[in-house]
């Protein structure tokens, strides 16, 4: 087992809020130094080594039952995870390198622990007294058995060796991906169509072929601006090629070797393939059920996607090349955005003026506070790893006490993790001294303030923020007594459901008014006319892409993942992706790219699990239907959701948690209604 960091991914103590009168409550006390954020050369490595030695020692000397195991495991997590996190966010290259090495060693240590026969016997023979304890034993036993405890010693040693090799490859891949600082130089004429604000924020070089040049990074904010707006097809082609080559051929090779190792591991442990091995214990149960779901969705989506593809080709003929008969991969985002502007009069440069980051964050906090019975308080003077990072305490309204913390890290930096994600740093779990308060971090790469303008978000980025903050709430509102079952340590094909559900809030006019404000006059919300255009466009687009294309693209990624991890012989990841891309989308991906070199999900915990985004969307939409029916700011429904889902972690099977919240068995009606199919 490895610690999973969520690109992006629990009887319990649900009724834990107090009805004590607020008049007798003391003001909550805030902690400022929750994790170490700066290190001298070698210091992080030394702390990592010390934690690993202590972990091994305590597992061997202190564990006499499953509850001891969870205590030691949770304590180790709370020490090591903040160190590993520095590999994704630290400004210092040496620190990032040490953190990456620490992550690899950590995953090897965890694999060793779960292949320890004495510990397995202790867990398996633990006497339980209630359902909570039984749940912990069941889940721990499952992990031990997936880690080889049913094997003879010879096979177990081989299993351990392969797991160690795999952990090293995963760490190498993520280090290459996180450390990629590729840039492209464009002349001003190459960037015709991009916004003046974007152009003014770029590094400008005084010399270059044909005059001054601008430096464009491969951070997602830069890449999307160019791919959606640059009128030059060649500029968009160069941008997409660089964006899909982050990590380069070396990462594609690392992934190919990892897939071979995974197949060998699965065979040793008695599974047909890696996908079946990984999916056991998830809601889907096995790869056959996953493939049925993906193929069923593919057939249902095909007619809608075919119409959208024809529309994109027609737009290309009108806007780019009158003789065009098919799409090129660098066309799609550009054409989709031009159609959005033409048919729905929606221009991101106009919309962004109403979504200054600070206003959106304040509105986001207000929405979640109203729904979930809490509020957020910035902790001033907190130790942070970059100047723009902030720390917030989560204060429960009923008890007026701090129940968790989270950091926000929104500005792009060289060497920083390139997308949006939430990172659990300290788990919520019961200790001898009370409940350990969970700590998480939300990481994104929004455009920083430029030339007197504040950081302005696109509508898609507002949606992303609501998504990732859903993960933060899942991680920090947990009241699960055991760290191993805490927060987002749930079935992989359920982990995205709460966050996907919360995305839907920004489709509502009332919420859009709440999270918006003109950057020059924040009290002025987004005009109703613009809201109407956003709502109208949602019948067409999702995340700046035609809805049918967006979901067909998700199927390309999920089916590529499954093809790689059901393979029984060496495969070429890039060739596999190209084949499925061509089959489903009807055109080839960009030549000479290594998309799989930056498809980091497959090396950071979502291997044979990318289907989970689509699987969990079914449940997300079904759960959202309760709020849609009762009101998006209905605190009673929100508190039911907090109690039934967010606080529970993995204290019961996901399907049971969902059914408890809904008061019925879930279904896919809302999902297909939302897709319009």
Q: Residues 410, 178, 331, CA angle at the centre, nearest 5°? A: 80
The position carrying tokens 């959208």 is 308
- How far, in whole angstroms, is CA 549 from its chain's centroid? 21
Q: What is the DSSP letter of 456?
A: B
Nearest to 118 by CA among 191, 51, 65, 45: 65
Nearest to 460 by CA among 507, 412, 496, 422: 507
CB atoms closer than 10 angstroms to residue 7: 18
Nearest to 655 by CA among 646, 308, 664, 647: 664
Assign 368 to helix, strand or coil: helix
Catalytically annotated residue among 468, 496, 503, 647: 468
583 is annotated as an active-site residue: no
* Cα–Cα distance for residue pair 64/45, rounded to 1 Å: 30
Nearest to 267 by CA among 157, 167, 155: 155
- How far, in whole angstroms, is CA 31 from its chain's centroid? 27
- Work out the burial of residue 267: count CB atoms within 10 Å of its CB; fewer than 13 is exposed, 13-18 middle, 19 or more buried: middle
Judge whether 84 and 604 are in contact, CB under 8 Å.
no
- Could you give the C-alpha distances from 670 to 41, 305, 657, 676, in angstroms and in order? 53, 20, 18, 10
Judge whether 290 and 284 are in contact, CB under 8 Å.
yes
Judge whether 404 and 391 are in contact, CB under 8 Å.
no
Torsion region of 508: left, alpha or beta (phi above 0 gives left; psi -120 to 50 gives alpha)? beta
- Residues taking part in catalysis: 468
């Amino acid at each position: 087992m490895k610690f999973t960091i969520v690109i992006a991914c629990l009887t319990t103590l649900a009724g834990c809020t107090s009805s004590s009168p607020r008049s007798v409550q003391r003001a909550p006390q805030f902690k400022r130094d929750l994790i170490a954020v700066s290190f001298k050369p070698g210091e992080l490595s030394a702390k990592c080594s010390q934690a690993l030695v202590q972990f091994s020692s305590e597992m061997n000397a202190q564990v006499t039952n499953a509850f001891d195991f969870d205590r030691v495991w949770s304590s180790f997590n709370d020490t090591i995870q903040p160190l590993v996190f520095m590999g994704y966010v630290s400004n210092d290259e040496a620190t990032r390198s040490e953190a990456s090495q620490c992550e690899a060693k950590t995953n090897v240590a965890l694999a060793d622990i779960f292949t320890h026969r004495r510990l397995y016997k202790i867990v398996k023979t633990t006497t339980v007294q209630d359902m909570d304890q039984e749940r912990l034993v069941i889940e721990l036993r499952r992990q031990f058995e997936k880690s080889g405890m049913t094997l003879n010693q010879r096979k177990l040693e081989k299993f351990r060796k392969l797991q160690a090799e795999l952990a090293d490859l995963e760490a190498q891949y993520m280090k290459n991906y996180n450390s990629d600082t590729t840039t492209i130089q464009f002349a001003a004429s190459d960037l015709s169509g991009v916004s003046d604000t974007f152009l003014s924020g770029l590094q400008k070089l005084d010399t270059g072929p044909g005059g001054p040049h601008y430096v464009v990074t491969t951070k997602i904010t830069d890449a999307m601006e160019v791919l959606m707006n640059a009128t030059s097809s060649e500029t968009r082609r160069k941008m997409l090629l660089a964006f899909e080559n982050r990590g380069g051929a070396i990462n594609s090779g690392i992934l190919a070797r990892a897939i071979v190792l995974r197949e060998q591991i699965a065979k040793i442990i008695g599974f047909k393939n890696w996908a079946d091995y990984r999916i056991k214990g998830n809601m889907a149960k096995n790869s056959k059920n996953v493939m049925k779901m993906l193929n069923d969705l593919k057939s249902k989506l095909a007619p809608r996607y075919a119409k959208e593809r024809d529309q994109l080709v027609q737009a290309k003929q009108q806007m780019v090349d009158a003789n065009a008969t098919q799409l090129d991969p660098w066309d799609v985002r550009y054409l989709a955005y031009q159609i959005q502007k033409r048919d729905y009069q929606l221009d991101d440069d106009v919309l962004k003026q109403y979504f200054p980051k600070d206003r959106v964050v304040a509105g986001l906090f207000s929405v979640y506070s109203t729904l979930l019975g809490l509020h957020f308080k910035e902790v001033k003077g907190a130790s942070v790893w970059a100047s723009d990072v902030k720390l917030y305490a989560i204060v429960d309204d009923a008890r007026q006490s701090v129940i968790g913390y989270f950091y926000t890290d929104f500005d792009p930096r060289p060497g920083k993790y390139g997308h949006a994600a939430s990172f659990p740093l300290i788990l919520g779990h019961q200790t001898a001294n009370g409940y350990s308060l969970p700590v998480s971090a939300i990481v994104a790469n929004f455009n920083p303030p430029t030339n007197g303008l504040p950081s302005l978000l696109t509508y898609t980025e507002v949606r992303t923020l609501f998504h990732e903050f859903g993960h933060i709430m899942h991680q920090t509102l947990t009241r699960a007594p055991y760290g191993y079952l805490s927060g987002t340590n749930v079935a992989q094909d359920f982990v995205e459901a709460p966050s996907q559900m919360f995305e839907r809030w920004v489709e509502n006019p009332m919420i859009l008014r709440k999270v918006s404000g003109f950057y020059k006059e924040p009290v002025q919300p987004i005009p109703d006319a613009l809201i109407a255009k956003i709502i109208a466009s949602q019948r067409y687009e999702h995340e700046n892409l035609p809805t049918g294309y967006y979901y067909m693209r998700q199927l390309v990624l999920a089916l590529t993942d499954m093809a790689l991890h059901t393979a029984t012989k060496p495969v070429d990841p890039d060739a596999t992706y190209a084949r499925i891309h061509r089959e489903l989308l009807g055109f080839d991906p960009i030549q000479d790219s290594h998309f799989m070199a930056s498809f980091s999900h497959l090396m950071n915990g979502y291997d044979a699990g990318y289907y989970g985004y689509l699987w969990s969307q079914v449940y997300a939409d079904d759960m959202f239907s309760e709020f849609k029916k009762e009101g998006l700011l209905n605190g009673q429904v929100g508190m039911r959701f907090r109690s039934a889902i967010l606080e529970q972690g993995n204290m019961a099977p996901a399907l049971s948690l969902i059914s408890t919240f809904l008061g019925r068995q879930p279904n896919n009606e809302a999902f297909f209604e939302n897709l319009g199919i």
